[in-house]
Structure 1
Amino acid sequence: MSTKPSAGTVCGPASPTAGAQTRLHPLPLGQVRITSGLWHERGEANRLASIPRGLDRLHEAGNLRNLDIAGGLAQGEAEGRIFADSDVYKWLEAAAWEYARTGDEQLLANQLSVTEVVGRAQAEDGYIDSVVQIRENKERYRDLPHSHEHYVAGHLIQAAVAQVRATGRRDLLEVAIRLADHLAATFGPQARDDVDGHPVVEMALVELYRETGTREYLDLAEYFVSARGRGLMASYGREPTYFSDRVPVREATTVEGHAVRAVYLAAGAADVAAETGDAELLAALATQYDSMERGKQYITGGLGSRWEGESFGDPFELPTDRGYAETCAAIGGVQWAWRMLLATGDARYADQIERMLFNGFLAGVSLSGTEYFYVNPLQLRGDAHPEHERSAANGRRGWFDCACCPPNIMRMLSSLGAHVATTTDAGVQIHQYANGTIAAGDLQLDVETAYPWDGRVRVTVRQAPTTPVELAFRVPAWAAGATLDGAAVAAGDYARVSRTYRDGDEIVLDLPMAPRLTRADERVDAVRGCVTIERGPLVYALEQCDQAEGAPVDDLRILPGAPFEVEHRPDLLSGVSVVRTTGRVASPPPAARSPYSTTPADAREEQAGREVSLVAIPYYAWANRGPQPMRVWIPTA
């Protein structure tokens, strides 16, 4: 039996080989510890509530029973979506990373129990997809645009890599190897020339190559990336844009179609570029990322502006109340940005990770860790009616018919420490700030900060080599006026200090945390003339229950130039800093008023024109007190 790896050697979700063309190298998962503060609290909610309840939900929804049926342990019909197995695999990945973080033996026992069920369901030739095996008359790969068979395989492979890295157990890895061998024998230029409608297998195959050294898996991932954009979806009678299949990846200049699929594909392509040294592919991905960031991304880091197809819209098509911004897309955005950061060392990608994590991602899970948003709009109107299970007007939900987001959140939080710091031959780079410890070879650091509520980050050296080493601190692009040990440093880059350190040496980074108004780009029709409040890495929102005298959020306007007041409220929403400023109540003319308004017309007229105090909370924390009106972008008075 394999032995559990030591905490300091557990590689994270993306672990490039020694020969990969990357500027930065990720630290093993156990060498970064987040010990207190916001991310520790979110991690504890994930450990104590999300992951245990997630396993219950997989039983209740029938996902695990499907695998039992496919494995001959039960009888009946398949339940749920055709990709139901993928939710099981994402949960397994989360459980593996969490075991690496905490050593929870019950969590290991649950993993191995589920892994045994998965192994029984696998066909002799390596194929496994329980819903297809049960429901689809055992006809494999019949409708690849929508069958998600490679997508399901990808998540199994990612879970298997996580499990062997975190536990030393090869149980699930052997299943994954048989499955990958089956895929390699079935698809590719010498076999079936075809791709799945939902990318993720590309990332998975590269990581399996990294874990096993089997070049065939990297070659298959490279084929799947290169085959995209050659009309394969059209051969099924499908419109190619939705599947990121209209333009070859190397020729594309932007992202389009289904947002999650697009960013998963790009992340996999970045892995391929790193391992093959393909500078041309990496440059194309940088162009696509730039296009997304500049014109197809919400200020929260949310991705996907259309309910139709869960997709990217046209440039600057970013509606607030109908914004989709699926939680999974924010996770995929972090995965892509992390791989681009490793490849290029460019601080903008670390900035992007911060924006997505604190806003577009964190909004997707309740403070309790048991309720979720699938869709993350930037506005909920007072008269909103939920017309869909996923509508934010329902409030947060315990699970979904399409439950891709909850276990995806679990695996992201369980592996969060892997995204904090990296190394080079020169030293250590700190990309994200949280209380904890960082260990890299002979260098050990303590990090003390109240971030994101306070901008001071104190790093204390606890052990250091006897030769000079460089410490690099990311200075976010929003942090104009930042200082390192009292000296001004440039925002949007890394502040670097190279010297011989001794035990007890301290370096202090101060990031200005004054609230700021960000004005909407005039090309975004939905919010032209509006502003939003940001403070540090956080985007803020007005939520109805915080506003004075019940002034309707829909009618509030902000007074540009009004002063801000910041108050930290440990008693509110698990502890947040609120921002207060001054606004005015506006009211639409009577003819434009909705007949379904929840506020009587005379009351609204009575309040119109009054100056009121506006209270803003971090966007991620909204809807933890029930569904209610909210807006991120605020019209100016």
Structure 2
Amino acid sequence: MEQILGPAVPSSRAVWRPLGIPHVAITGGPFARWQRINHEASIPLGLEQMERSGALPNLRRAGARAGEGDGPFQGYRFQDSDLYKQLEAVAWEHARAPETRYAEFIEQAAAVLARAQRPDGYLNSHYQVVKPDKIYAELEYSHELYCAGHLFQAAVAAARAGVGDSLLAVARRFADHLVEVFLTGGNDGIDGHAEVETALVELHRLTGERAYLELAGKLIDNRGKGLIADSGMGMLYAQDHLPVREADTPVGHAVRQLYLEAGIVDVYLETGDESLLECSVRRWEDMVATKTYITGGHGSRHDGEAFGERYELPPDRAYSESCAAIASIHWNWRLLLATGHGRYADLIERTLYNAFAASTSADGTRFFYVNPLQRRNDLVEDAYLGRRREWFACACCPPNIMRLVASLGGYLATETGTGLQLHQYVPGTLAGGGARLRVDTGYPWEGLIRVTVEEAPVGAWELALRIPSWSESTYVSGRLANPGGDGYFRIRRPWTNGDTVELQLDMTPRLMHPHHRIDAVRGSVALQRGPLVYCFEQADQPEGVEVDDLAIAPGAEPRAITKDDVAGVGRTVLIEIDAAAVEQPRDGLPYASKPLATSTRVTATAVPYFQWDNRDGGAMRVWMPLA
């Protein structure tokens, strides 16, 4: 069977088989724009930062026995992982748009890693340079296995892109070392930051080495047994409070929980252990119902970068880390492949177009670590909550963003022996299941998706189209269509070259109301159109009217306004809505025994959330109170 070139390639147990990145060409819409700026701006910036931030110099120092590198260690103990994510981004970009410079960077970095790697296979610049006597002695916060996981994923990407033999050799030596220490060597330690589990499974899928899968399973099974020492953040922080099969809700550090879940589903897909899939689905359902922002973001607490309690979703204090959005997409993609249920593709779409897309500036050179849903004019906290930044001391997010954008083609469609399934609607072409399709659409600005069969297989064949849960009335080729219980509308018949299907989604702007237990936004509404959540930025409001003084007028109907180009933002669709500009005296306490506010009718304007912070850096809010 052909080797699929993509980030997750499960066994035949998966309901659907992902299409390889070379079989998908994205030619228009926001996804194409993101990939273009990733290629032209983000990845070149990341490559520069690998030297400037210390990621490559640290590894040269670890290889000093080979005569290279001097000076102090730079950055955090997990600095190596920045390089590994950057390598993965470069590998997927090479698979998408091959360039000699990408292959050269991978080979040069692999050479540095090979010189730094110990004879026994261990590789971690911080512990080799700074704490050689503490190797595997501080797993609760060392990130040693976490870094290894990102190396394995980079090596898998490079190998699938056909450019990484030397990098794969480094990764396998390290993986074999981990097997010797943690699987057969009696060490029951677990990294406080999950990630290596999903990476080990993918390395198993590439190489066929069963021990990598067994080690991933052991690390998952050992959680909740108190084997992770307390880092000072508590047992929930590292998901060591309960065995994974017993936990009902996601807790602790959001990124760690979400990467762990991806690994849990991966192990299920290779072993068939239904208890793993069942517990992961159970936590997913609780998370979606009680711990997910309208943008698809996760993590409501700055303390511990953590999930909060159920319905604890404050907009201004949202952490919603960019890495959490990426980890959520990884988990949901694996759940989609494992179950074939469209609700996971729905959440991928919500996250991609909102929490994830907002992480990067329109020009691709600045990034958010934290993605709040409200920013006031007088924000005085650290810069992580302010405007996007070119880089961070803890730079986990930028290269993570780059690797996902480069591999977007691997998350759009799947195939079976009898057909193709479209999960995300993007202009371009795709091939699989014996067919070749062309997709023409102005999505997400427009709701019409036209699918043309350019090459048809012989005999009856099935095309499955996801019907987003937000589309209240959907038409397929002019007829009202309802999805099946899995969220897909299926057409099975013989096809001929040139056959066309038109999907028309309901793009009516609508007011979204929060669950009554979300105290922070009770009595407020948000705007959504298609998959896009909207926000009100100061730059778009009437002169003299502050965003925080606006309230939506009773019975107001949102109106979509198409804009071909907005300075600093690009193509967009704005939404206008009748609102009230509220004024209240500022004498004494901000409370009174009777209402003192007066209001003036105005028109408020909202922009897609993912396009915010590309202009004046002023106030912004997603949730707006009702007048």
Judge same fold: TM > 0.5, yes or no: yes
Counterpart in the other structure of 2:545:
551
**CA distance in 1: counterparts of 2:104 and 2:561, whole angstroms:** 45
CA contact (8 A) 1:567 1:577 kept: yes
Per-residue deviation, 1:608: 4.6
1:100 aligns with 2:90: no
Counterpart in the other structure of 1:525:
519
Amino acid at match of 1:563: E
Which residue of 436, 443, 454 corresponds with 2:435? 443
Counterpart in the other structure of 2:206:
211
CA contact (8 A) 2:140 2:230 kept: no
For the residue of structure 2 that corresponds to 1:242, the secondary structure is: coil
Percent sequence identity over aligned pairs: 46
For the residue of structure 1 that corresponds to 2:282, the secondary structure is: helix
Higher alpha-carbon deviation: 227-236 or 288-297: 227-236
CA contact (8 A) 2:140 2:229 kept: no
**CA distance in 2: counterparts of 1:192 and 1:619, whole angstroms:** 47
**CA distance in 1: counterparts of 2:232 and 2:344, whole angstroms:** 37
Counterpart in the other structure of 2:134:
139
Counterpart in the other structure of 2:446:
454
For the residue of structure 1 that corresponds to 2:606, the secondary structure is: strand
Which residue of 558, 576, 581 corresponds with 1:564? 558
Amino acid at match of 1:285: S
Matches within 5 A, 1:7-26: 10-18=4-12, 21-26=13-18
TM (norm. structure 2) is 0.96
Counterpart in the other structure of 2:371:
376
Counterpart in the other structure of 1:192:
187
Which residue of 23, 37, 42 corresponds with 1:45? 37
Counterpart in the other structure of 2:418:
426
Counterpart in the other structure of 2:575:
579
**CA distance in 2: counterparts of 1:116 and 1:592, whole angstroms:** 67
**CA distance in 1: counterparts of 2:583 and 2:396, whole angstroms:** 40
Query: Kindly tell me: are residues 504 and 191 of structure 1, through their superposed partners in 2, closer, same or farther at Cα, counting changes over 3 Å?
Result: same
Amino acid at match of 2:528: E
For the residue of structure 1 that corresponds to 2:36, the secondary structure is: helix
CA contact (8 A) 1:459 1:507 kept: yes
Matches within 5 A, 1:139-538: 139-188=134-183, 191-234=186-229, 239-385=234-380, 387-391=381-385, 393=386, 395-490=387-482, 493-538=487-532
For the residue of structure 1 that corresponds to 2:45, the secondary structure is: helix
CA contact (8 A) 1:544 1:550 kept: no
**CA distance in 2: counterparts of 1:507 and 1:198, whole angstroms:** 46
**CA distance in 2: counterparts of 1:534 and 1:265, whole angstroms:** 31
Higher alpha-carbon deviation: 246-255 or 110-119: 110-119
Per-residue deviation, 1:139: 2.3
Higher alpha-carbon deviation: 77-86 or 560-569: 560-569
For the residue of structure 1 that corresponds to 2:281, the secondary structure is: helix
Unaligned runs of 5+ in 2: 591-595
For the residue of structure 1 that corresponds to 2:574, the secondary structure is: strand
**CA distance in 1: counterparts of 2:609 and 2:164, whole angstroms:** 40
Query: Kindly tell me: are residues 178 and 484 of structure 1, through their superposed partners in 2, closer, same or farther at Cα, counting changes over 3 Å?
Result: same
Amino acid at match of 2:563: R
For the residue of structure 2 that corresponds to 1:610, the secondary structure is: strand
Amino acid at match of 2:85: K
Per-residue deviation, 1:237: 6.9
**CA distance in 1: counterparts of 2:97 and 2:598, whole angstroms:** 54
Higher alpha-carbon deviation: 483-492 or 123-132: 483-492
For the residue of structure 1 that corresponds to 2:121, the secondary structure is: coil
Query: What is the CA deviation profile of residues 513-564 of structure 1, one whole-angstrom value per residue up to 9, with x for unaligned ones?
Result: 0100000111001000110000000000000010012311111101242232
**CA distance in 2: counterparts of 1:168 and 1:521, whole angstroms:** 49
Query: What is the CA deviation profile of residues 151-192 of structure 1, one whole-angstrom value per residue up to 9, with x for unaligned ones?
Result: 000000000000000124311100010000000111137510
For the residue of structure 2 that corresponds to 1:448, the secondary structure is: strand
**CA distance in 2: counterparts of 1:538 and 1:235, whole angstroms:** 40
Counterpart in the other structure of 1:617:
607
**CA distance in 2: counterparts of 1:569 and 1:238, whole angstroms:** 47
**CA distance in 2: counterparts of 1:142 and 1:267, whole angstroms:** 26
Counterpart in the other structure of 2:586:
590
Matches within 5 A, 1:33-72: 33-72=25-64
Amino acid at match of 1:310: E
For the residue of structure 2 that corresponds to 1:243, the secondary structure is: coil
Per-residue deviation, 1:104: 1.4
Per-residue deviation, 1:571: 1.5
Counterpart in the other structure of 1:600:
none
**CA distance in 2: counterparts of 1:67 and 1:587, whole angstroms:** 58
Amino acid at match of 1:583: A
Per-residue deviation, 1:233: 2.3
CA contact (8 A) 2:106 2:167 kept: no
Higher alpha-carbon deviation: 24-33 or 292-301: 24-33
**CA distance in 1: counterparts of 2:490 and 2:434, whole angstroms:** 19
Query: What is the CA deviation profile of residues 349-373 of structure 1, one whole-angstrom value per residue up to 9, with x for unaligned ones?
Result: 0000000000010111111111000
Query: What is the CA deviation profile of residues 116-138 of structure 1, one whole-angstrom value per residue up to 9, with x for unaligned ones?
Result: 11221111100000011111134
CA contact (8 A) 1:55 1:91 kept: yes
Query: Kindly tell me: are residues 211 and 577 of structure 1, through their superposed partners in 2, closer, same or farther at Cα, counting changes over 3 Å?
Result: same
**CA distance in 2: counterparts of 1:420 and 1:305, whole angstroms:** 29
TM (norm. structure 1) is 0.94
Unaligned runs of 5+ in 1: 1-7, 595-604
Which residue of 73, 81, 84 corresponds with 2:76? 81
For the residue of structure 2 that corresponds to 1:577, the secondary structure is: strand
Aligned length: 615
**CA distance in 1: counterparts of 2:619 and 2:418, whole angstroms:** 50
Amino acid at match of 2:421: Q
Q: What is the aligned-residue RMSD (CA, Å)?
A: 1.6
Query: Kindly tell me: are residues 593 and 96 of structure 1, through their superposed partners in 2, closer, same or farther at Cα, counting changes over 3 Å?
Result: farther
Per-residue deviation, 1:221: 0.3
CA contact (8 A) 1:53 1:370 kept: yes
CA contact (8 A) 1:10 1:30 kept: no
Amino acid at match of 2:620: M
**CA distance in 2: counterparts of 1:102 and 1:39, whole angstroms:** 15
**CA distance in 2: counterparts of 1:215 and 1:483, whole angstroms:** 47
**CA distance in 1: counterparts of 2:461 and 2:439, whole angstroms:** 17
**CA distance in 1: counterparts of 2:420 and 2:214, whole angstroms:** 32
Counterpart in the other structure of 1:117:
112
Amino acid at match of 2:295: T
Amino acid at match of 1:107: Y
CA contact (8 A) 1:189 1:223 kept: no
CA contact (8 A) 1:328 1:408 kept: yes
Higher alpha-carbon deviation: 32-41 or 454-463: 32-41
For the residue of structure 1 that corresponds to 2:555, the secondary structure is: coil
Query: What is the CA deviation profile of residues 361-415 of structure 1, one whole-angstrom value per residue up to 9, with x for unaligned ones?
Result: 0111111111000000000012211x22312x2x110000100000000000000
CA contact (8 A) 1:270 1:339 kept: yes
**CA distance in 2: counterparts of 1:163 and 1:550, whole angstroms:** 54
**CA distance in 1: counterparts of 2:354 and 2:565, whole angstroms:** 21
**CA distance in 2: counterparts of 1:589 and 1:404, whole angstroms:** 45
